[in-house]
Amino acid sequence: MIKKYHLLAFVCLLFTGLSSIAQDKKASASTPNFPNVGKQKMTYNIISAPEKTFGYDILFDGKLMIHQPNKPGMAGIRAFDTKQDAEKVAQLVIQKMKNGEMPPTVSSDEMKKLKVIKP
């Protein structure tokens, strides 16, 4: 139970930090948290989650910047059912960051379009 609270606190802190970056997209390229976003090599790793599910990590030049062990923007803490689903969303997040979208939030509609969740 304590781990759930730590995870929830981490996610809240992550979104709070990303929200402050979103206030000025031009400034996001020079923020300490996401310096020169467009110039860095962005990659992802698919990670294992509880109950044989999956999440993803986003790395900038090999440095961990986003740890997403569950489906973003969804109630509960359920992760992706397949590696392919986690990969689709990780690729979407990277594309959003390359396009300057900060924070790179993912909506349930976007996940439905990717067929990661059911309509």
* pLDDT number for residue 33: 53
Pairing of strands 63-68, 42-49: unpaired
* pLDDT number for residue 34: 55
* pLDDT number for residue 83: 97
3-state secondary structure of 4: helix
Cβ contact 56:45 at 8 Å: yes
Q: What is the mean pLDDT of residues 81-92?
A: 97
This prediction has a pTM of 0.69
The alpha-helical segments, DSSP class H, found in 2-82 are 2-22, 25-28
* pLDDT number for residue 3: 55
Which percentage of the chain shows pLDDT scores above 70?
67
